[in-house]
Chain A
Amino acid sequence: MIAQTNPFLKLRDLTWAWTLRTLRGRYQQSALGWLWAVVQPVATVAIFAVVFTRIVPVDTGGVPYILFSYAAVVPWTLLATSLPDMAMSLVQNMNLVGKIYFPREALPIAALLARIADFGISFVLLIILVILYGIPISPLGLLFLPLIFLIQITLLLGLGIGAAALNVFYRDVDPLLKLVIQVWFYASPILYPVILVPEKWQWLYFLNPMAGIIAAYRDVLIYNRLPGEYLLPAAAVSLVIFLLGYWFFKRVEYQFADII
């Protein structure tokens, strides 16, 4: 017997193989290949730059608008691309789920990892832009980057795994999710800075974990300062969402093959 018996190692190997499969499948027959990872956020920023510097100028606190906007669009693109992928990951592979046993989490996690690869590429461009614009970066602030990223991944895992499981039962999840992401975009500080939100409503505003996450990325990368205490509610809400999503997934997992 040579097959893997440690379930964690099996999950790890399978998730990795599935991530590579997703990436290869996505880019193998495309001319631009991985460049698409950058094309989408750059195009978004280009449109924003025209609207919000020429037509409706936005106060960016002295930072070039392109940088201001790109620093938010990169983490937002990770959310907007990975959540629908994760939600569809089980349903799209129903022949696999119904016919072979394997740790089911591998599919949504791999969908997320494949988008994190794109995120990595567009993040490199973000760093290059920051350096080109000569923005000073504090080393202490950089130490916060992994933490901010971790909070975002916790949030995405919880939402994505929960959505993937729910989608098996109700296919409404996919269109509903796209609608939520659309609304969520305007509820997050992407087009505008947080200071536009009235002081007395900010506690409510920061219950949206993406508000804290994006504000923290901006603080660390383009404002040369440490994230504020607004990161705490973001972390707490993300953790709760992760636990709820994972709990739901595990609770209904055994029914997938029968229903799918």
Chain B
Amino acid sequence: MPPVIRFMNVSKRYNLGLTRTSLPSVLSQWAKQALRGGASSDRKYHWALKDVSFDLERGQSLALVGPNGAGKSTILKLLAKITQPTSGRVEVNGQLSALIELGAGFHPDLTGRENIYLNGTILGLSYKDIQKRFDEIVAFSEIEEFIDTPVKRYSSGMTVRLGFAVASCIEPDILLVDEVLAVGDASFRQKCIERIKTLLNDGTSLIFVSHDMGLVRSVCERAIYIEHGQVQNVGTSGEIIDIYNQVLDRRRIEKMNRAGGEADDVEGGVEVTKIEALDAHGKPVRETYGDQPLEIRVRYLAYKDIGKANAIVLIYRSDGLMCANMRSHLDGYPLHITKGEGEYSVRLEPLQLFGGTYYAITWIMNADDSDGLAYGASDWFEVRNRVPGREAHIAVYEPNRTWRQNVRVNVTESARQA
């Protein structure tokens, strides 16, 4: 069976200088060219991709990893046939659905119901197919009550939910997902990821673009590291994530050295480079139990000496409920930040959270706690219930507990039975 996607020596060039929108500018362009001797060498080109090749086999999942402007989105646009390559060949064998921009086809004046039909048609569904899946789409997007309200009155979260519901109901052979999951609330994001995983199990091939390395690790088998429009490395997603993180670390240190103590581009002068949840042995965890210890560890990089500062660590449940609010200076533990790398952590022992999906965020605050200097958010971590049969219950706190019962024996009754 041939690969579902073959990307063969593909290059894509964008014209930057060529914006001839009006006659006066065209004339002045001609005049300039005539004066300079006719050569049109002042045209500015940008090579978004240079000689990129890769294959994707049926049922495989591939992540595109790299900094902003590396060419990841251009690859998706070429695959989706939105734009054409300047040279090389793009072969796509199968029905492709692109989650590049959620809700791009929504009309603000039309209702949710009307927009489902319209957007579904744009994505290539027939009227009958949409009718068949209508209830499923509405249920997935959780907007039942607002289905006959114009989309302009929707919150951005509702728009995103509806967009994902329509786009993912196609059950395509190939699914392209570009950073769209960054929007929307936490529980819906989780739902989207599960939906993507279901599609993968059903044989869909996936190309995934995200800056969230936790997501990349959990969704993709393979990854490509792209930079300056060229493929730098190919490997398992674990290998590529390590390479990417090394590149990021190196770049931060370069930036710090270049800045020479005058960090202009980092507001606050300090940056959170990593925030992780660790188990009792100091190893990163994605899954734990409420009766286990958990440590939230934050690594930061300061571009200058800051001196006294305060750390805030908050733990949120996936639906946005704040479950813990911890401030180091109030606990009598102010930070002292000097130029360079460092880390701080807070250990919760035991965690005592009820089963669910959580994440931690941190703020580094200035000395008088009035201004945030840096911010970071962790990946999701799952807390499991130790006791089976608790899935249906809702709670935040899972205390260490002991049950007791005292039975007062009714003497006369027991005597009678005896």
Contact = CB atoms under 8 A, between A and B. Distances in A.
B100 A5 contact: no
Contacts of A132: none
A32 interface: no
Contacts of B125: 2-4
Given A100-B101, A101-B80, A3 B127 contact: no
Interface residues of B, number: 38
Contacts of A255: 84
A141 B105 CA distance: 44
B122 A100 contact: yes
Interface stretch (A21-29, A42-50, A122-130, A184-192): A21-29
If over half of B's interface residues share one DSSP class (helix, strand or loop), that class is named, otherwise mixed; here it is: loop
A1 B81 contact: no
B308 to A, nearest CB: 47
A170 interface: yes
A102 B122 contact: yes
Interface string A91-109: 0000110111110000000
B361 interface: no
A99 B82 contact: yes
Contacts of A98: 82
A257 B121 contact: no
Contacts, number: 95
Interface stretch (A9-17, A147-155, A196-204): A9-17
Interface in A7-64: 9-10, 13-14, 16-18, 20-21, 24-25, 28-29
Contact of B20 (A3, A17, A18, A170): A170
Given A171-B22, A257-B77, A4 B126 contact: yes
A169 B18 CA distance: 10
Interface in A53-100: 95-96, 98-100
A172 interface: yes
B196 interface: no
Interface of A: 1-5, 9-10, 13-14, 16-18, 20-21, 24-25, 28-29, 95-96, 98-102, 169-172, 254-255, 257-258
Given A2-B125, A4-B126, A257-B77, 15 more contacts: A1-B95, A3-B124, A9-B126, A13-B126, A14-B121, A16-B121, A17-B122, A17-B127, A21-B110, A96-B104, A100-B100, A101-B80, A102-B122, A170-B21, A254-B84
6 contacts: A3-B97, A13-B126, A13-B127, A99-B82, A100-B101, A102-B124
